[in-house]
Chain A
C-alpha cells in the first residue's frame, strides 16, 4: 500500500467523527485497490468471467434459436442468466484467492473495522461484474442487432448487480470456508437471490419492450429495497462469518 503513513496518521488524530469516517474509507479503498491491482497483473478473474459469459450466450444461441421474434422476449432472461453464472464464477474466485494464500488472515489482522473489508471486497466484486457486463452488452448488441444501451436498462443492471454482489460476497466468504466450497456457492446463493433475478429480468424486459414507466417502477422499487436490506444485513453479520 502506498499510503500507509497516511493511514497511521489518521489513527493518531483524536477520534472525531470525520477522521473515523476517513480512516474507514481508506481501509475500504485499500481493499478495493489491492483487488484491482492483483487483477490488473494476473487478469485471471476477469478473463475467465468474460470467456464464460460469452460461452453462455453462445450456448443460448443454439438452445433457444434466438431469431428476431424470440429475441424480443428472451433477451433480458439470457442476459441475466449470463450475469448470474459469470458472477458466481467471479465471487468464488475472489474469495478463494483470499483463503488459499492466507490473505484473509492478514486482512483480518489489520486494525480496521471488519465491515470495511466486507465493503471493500463487495465493491471490488461489483467493479468486476460491471466490467464484464460492460463488455457483454455491446457484444450482445452487435451479435443480435438489438440496442441495449437504454438508460433505464443500465440502471436496472446496476441495481441488480449491487443486490447480487451484496449477498454474493457474504455467502462466498462462507462458502470458501467449507469442505464443498466450489459446489456450495451457487446452491447457497441462487435461492436467496431469486427476488433480484426476477425483478431484474422483468425490469429489463420492461425497458426493452418499452412498457409504460409505472409498470416498471414496482420492479425498480423491489431492487432498491432488496439492495438496502441485504447490504445492511451483510454489514451486520459479516463479523461472525470471518471470526476465527
Chain B
C-alpha cells in the first residue's frame, strides 16, 4: 500500500479547520431564531447531514452503474464506501431531526413523508449490507451490490412521492412551503451564510471520509489476497 498522498493530508487538515469554523458559525455567528430559540441551530448540521446521506447514496448508485459497465473492482469499493458513509450521515440526520422535533412538534417522531422516506432509505441500505454479507464470491457480491444500489436509489423518490400524497407537517425552508407545515422560518442573510457554509463543510467531510474508506477497502482486499496465498 502506498503511503498517504499529500493531497489527502491537506484535505484532512482543511476538513478539520472547516468543521471547527462551521461549528463556530453555527453557535456564534448565526442569530438566534426568534420563535424556536437555540434549538433551531440544529438545523444547519441537520440539513447538511441529510445532504451527505443523499450524496452518498447517489454516489453508490452511480458507482454501481459504472461498475456494471466497466467491471472494474475499484468501483465496487467506491459503492460500498459511499453506502456506509451515507448510512451514518442519514442516521445523524434522523437523530438531529428528532432532537429538534421534540420541542417544536412536541414529539420525537411522526410519520411525516420525509421521516418515513429517511427510515425506509436506511432500511434499504441495511438490506444492501446484508445482501453483501450473504455472498462469498467477490465478483457476484459486487454485481449484486451494484444492482441493488441502483434499484434502491430509484425507489427513494417514489417512496417520498407516495408518502407526500399524505399531508405533511415538515417545514420546507428552501422553496415554497406547504400549508400546514409547523416550525418553519425565514432565513436571515447570516443564517443563509452559516447554512451554506455547513453544506460546504459536510461535503468536504464526505469527500475526505470517502477517500479514507476507499483506501481502507483496497487494503482489506490486499489482506484477503495475502490470506488466500497462505492457503
Contact = CB atoms under 8 A, between A and B. Distances in A.
A137 to B, nearest CB: 24
Interface in B119-163: 120, 123-124, 127, 130-131, 133-136, 140, 143-144, 146-148, 150-152, 154-155, 158-159, 161-163
Contact of B124 (A192, A234, A241): A192
B68 interface: yes
A167 B120 contact: no
A207 interface: no
Contacts of B165: 202, 218-219, 222
B167 to A, nearest CB: 13
B143 A178 contact: no
Main secondary structure of the interface of B (DSSP, over half): helix
A174 B147 contact: yes
Interface string A35-67: 000000000000000000000000000000000
Interface in A164-222: 167, 170-171, 174-175, 177-181, 184, 187-188, 190-195, 198-199, 202, 218-219, 222
Given A174-B147, A233-B150, A191 B158 contact: no
A184 B131 contact: yes
Contacts of A199: 162
A234 B150 CA distance: 10
A2 to B, nearest CB: 35
Nearest to B124: A191
Nearest to A186: B127
Nearest to B160: A195
A188 B131 contact: yes
Contacts of A180: 130, 133-134
Interface in B148-206: 148, 150-152, 154-155, 158-159, 161-163, 165
Interface residues of A, number: 35
A240 B147 CA distance: 8
A195 B127 contact: no
Nearest to B64: A237
Contact of B148 (A188, A225, A226, A229): A188
Query: Which of A175, A184, A191, A229 has the largest number of chain B CB atoms within 10 A?
Result: A191
Contact of A195 (B68, B123, B136, B162): B162
A230 B154 contact: yes
A218 B127 CA distance: 29
Contacts of A192: 124, 151-152, 155
A3 interface: no
A212 B193 CA distance: 47
Contacts of B143: 240-241, 243
B120 to A, nearest CB: 5
B134 A222 contact: no
Contact of B150 (A178, A191, A237): A237
A187 B151 CA distance: 14
Given A174-B131, A198-B159, A233-B150, 4 more contacts: A193-B155, A195-B162, A222-B162, A230-B151
Ranked 5 nearest A-B pairs via Cβ: A178-B134, A195-B158, A191-B123, A198-B162, A180-B134
Interface of A: 167, 170-171, 174-175, 177-181, 184, 187-188, 190-195, 198-199, 202, 218-219, 222, 225-226, 229-230, 233-234, 237, 240-241, 243
11 contacts: A175-B131, A179-B136, A188-B127, A192-B152, A194-B159, A195-B155, A195-B162, A202-B165, A219-B165, A230-B155, A241-B147
